[in-house]
């Protein structure tokens, strides 16, 4: 291989590697791609395949820094690319986390928080309702094609922000903070109807207990909580997972 071939291949190879950093960071945390149940080798293989498609679609951008050390520029660019991918993946993952947080709130309000199961996504303890909403949210995300939106976002981001471009880390951090606040509000919004139904169930039970204490209906409190909360959850669950899917897609589409 001559020097001219090396001069052509090196910037192209570096460009591909930087796009791979961005794609691998995204696939490590994004919904569906970053699930704990997905083996790391499979995740890495998917990252390489997506990177090749994205790199080709972006017309093979190169990385050739001018007037600075190649090693230093490559390290800075690798950190920047990783940060870009992580921010996009984390902002999208917040939607699933919001659904699971709403499930935790619902479990506490219904008195089901004492029963815990193993979360296959995070490998930690969780409640049944939280897992149910989390899995339904993932199913809605797949049905809405958010995983395809992630690939489209990668192509668009590589074109608009080529490998080696200067990116303000403060703007990326601000995006994560903003999306996390939106996720907190989203979790409360999704859990609110069920919590209101359970609260009104308790109020109704309290009124009946004071009106007819001889009936001893206070022992029906747990059953009434399950009925009220379960009925409300049955009615609002489809809307909850749809909202979570739209919120996850917003991280890649920018609200379009």
- pLDDT single digits (tens) 77-108: 888 888 888 888 888 888 888 888 888 888 88
Closest CA to 53 of 98, 16, 88: 16
Sequence length of the chain is 256
Virtual torsion, Cα 217, 221, 222, 223, nearest 10 deg: 60
Cα separation, 245 vs 250, whole angstroms: 9
Tens of pLDDT, residues 105-138: 888 887 776 656 555 555 556 677 888 888 888 8
Give the model's confidence band at 2: pLDDT under 50 very low, under 70 low, under 90 confident, else very high: very low
Contact 34, 147 (CB under 8 A): no
Output the six-digit token pair for 178: 């903003």
Mean pLDDT (the chain, rounded):
79
Domain ranges of the chain: 3-253
125: phi then psi, degrees, rounded to nearest 5: -75, 145
* Stated pTM of the model: 0.77
Give the model's confidence band at 168: pLDDT under 50 very low, under 70 low, under 90 confident, else very high: confident
**Bridge partners for 125 per DSSP:** 118
Enclosing H/E stretch for 256: none
Cα separation, 208 vs 31, whole angstroms: 46
Enclosing H/E stretch for 248: helix 221-253
Enclosing H/E stretch for 139: helix 128-144
In our burial notation (b when 16+ CB lie closer than 10 A, e otherwise), range 232-245 reads bbeebbeebbebbb
């Amino acid at each position: 291989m001559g020097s001219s071939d090396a001069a052509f291949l090196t910037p192209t190879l570096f460009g591909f590697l930087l796009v791979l950093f961005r794609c691998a960071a995204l696939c490590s945390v994004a919904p569906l791609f970053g699930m704990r149940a997905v083996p790391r080798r499979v995740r890495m293989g998917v990252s390489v395949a997506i990177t090749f498609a994205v790199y080709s679609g972006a017309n093979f951008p190169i990385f050739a820094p001018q007037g600075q050390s190649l090693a230093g520029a490559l390290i800075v660019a690798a950190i920047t690319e990783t940060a870009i991918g992580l921010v996009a993946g984390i902002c999208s993952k917040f939607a699933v986390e919001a659904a699971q947080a709403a499930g935790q709130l619902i479990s506490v309000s219904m008195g089901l928080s004492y029963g815990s199961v193993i979360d296959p996504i995070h490998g930690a303890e969780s409640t049944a309702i939280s897992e149910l909403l989390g899995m339904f949210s993932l199913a809605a995300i797949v049905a809405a094609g958010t995983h395809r939106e992630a690939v489209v976002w990668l192509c668009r981001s590589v074109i608009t922000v080529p490998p080696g471009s200067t990116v303000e880390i403060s703007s990326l951090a601000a995006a994560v903070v903003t999306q996390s606040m939106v996720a907190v509000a989203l979790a409360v919004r999704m859990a609110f109807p069920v919590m209101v139904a359970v609260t009104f169930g308790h109020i109704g039970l309290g009124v009946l207990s004071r009106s007819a204490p001889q009936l001893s209906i206070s022992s029906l409190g747990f059953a009434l909580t399950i009925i009220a909360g379960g009925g409300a959850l049955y009615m609002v669950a489809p809307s909850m997972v749809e909202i979570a899917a739209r919120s996850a897609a917003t991280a890649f589409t920018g609200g379009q």
